[in-house]
Amino acid sequence: MLMLYTPPPVDPKAPPVRVNLLSDTQTRPTPAMREAMARAEVGDEQVGDDPTTNALCERVADLLGKEAAVFMPSGTMCNVTATLVHCRPGDEILAHETAHIIAREGGAHAALGGFQVTQLPGPDGQFTPETFRKALHPRTRYQPSQTVVSVEQTANIGGGTIWKKAALDEIVAIAKQNGLATHMDGARLLNATVATGIAARDMTAGWDSAWIDFSKGLGAPIGGALAGSRDFIDAVWQWKQRLGGSMRQSGVCAAACIYALDHHVDRLADDHANARALARGLAQIAGIEVQEPETNLVFFKPDGAGVAGDKMVAALRQRGVMLAMMDGRIRACTHLDVTAAMIEETIGHVREIVRGA
């Protein structure tokens, strides 16, 4: 059974956090990013008059190889508005059983759109093209219309794994053969592009809608941008308005996202290197089971060392290190506010806790 993300309990007596591996959403805007925000030229986004937001949308559309893009307050709104456009009430979405749209969006797709999500199995947060093909059924009045297939790049609960380009292309081909739209939850898409060297527009080729998140590894305080055809984005805009996501002087936030695209993409490789270093160090501690990271997420279980996962998370928090339990494992997430020295400190604390056990 899928176990949702469990944040560490709030302990007013806990020491200050020195190493925050809870999530890449914990990043803080750098001084240079704040300066870019302060200098941003702004207007009214609702009437298309914010030049900085417009520039960001044009840039994301080009980055992802789409006709247009729209700036959103959150990645969840990118996913929800996309399915609200692709689907009609009663329609069926196909996605991996651990996908963000199932595990982390509060049932929004059912609550707001009346959609059901079919959960496709598969290791490491991914289903195979053959699993997708087998889940398809003939179009009859007895079953819901299957209208969209969604993938999450990278697969968060799967361990930050990267969907292979060949698998993505095959899923697109199967979807098109069967009349389904394709949607890519690209919250950490740029982690995948940096790790593989495959351009974002090549990774999203054939996908009807795709988006990137700026508030994770890219270090902006807020926002995502959803891209697709002009007609699709026009329809998304109506849902953005309905859901209260249409903003005014959003250029202040868009400026942070532009700064992130200029300065924080290539450095994602540093986060990947830190994740590998953490995994290597943890694997050298007897009894700890570690999933080899492909990007910036490290999942591990200390049960074999005689320490339950939740106990390890609590003990690390008392040492100023913050991690989280996710799907029965501990997740550590590296980002621009985590240094190589912090990784070594974390490994040292884990070693001490295991020794104590």
What Rg do the C-alpha atoms of the chain give, in angstroms? 21
pLDDT of res. 2:
44
pLDDT of res. 8:
59
- C-alpha span between 214 and 190 (Å, rounded): 10
Say if residues 203 and 42 touch (Cβ distance below 8 Å).
no
Q: What's the distance, CA 67 to chain centroid?
A: 23
Q: Name which of 322, 326, 356 is nearest 342 in CA terms.
A: 322
Q: Does domain 40-263 fall into CATH 3.40.50.300?
A: no
Domain ranges of the chain: 19-27+267-356, 40-263
Q: Residue with structure tokens 């501990």?
A: 330
pTM here? 0.95
- C-alpha span between 126 and 162 (Å, rounded): 9
- C-alpha span between 291 and 186 (Å, rounded): 22
Output the DSSP codes for 18-68: SEE-S-GGG----HHHHHHHHH-----GGGT--HHHHHHHHHHHHHHT-SE
pLDDT of res. 327:
86
Low-confidence stretches of the chain (pLDDT < 50) are 1-3
| Residue range 19-27+267-356, CATH number | 3.90.1150.10
Structure tokens at 260: 């992130």
Q: Write b or e for each residue in 60-89: b if 16 or more Cβ atoms lie within 10 A of its Cβ, otherwise e.
A: bbebbbbebbbbbbebbbbbbbbbbbbbee
Tell me which H or E stretch contains 318: none
Q: Name which of 306, 300, 303 is nearest 324 in CA terms.
A: 300
- C-alpha span between 178 and 283 (Å, rounded): 44
Output the DSSP codes for 77-116: HHHHHHHHHH--TT-EEEEETT-HHHHSSTTHHHHHH--E
pLDDT of res. 10:
63
Structure tokens at 84: 């609200």
Q: Considering the chain, what is the average pLDDT of its residues?
A: 95
Q: What count of other Cβ atoms lies within 10 Å of the Cβ of residue 286? A: 10
Say if residues 87 and 93 touch (Cβ distance below 8 Å).
yes
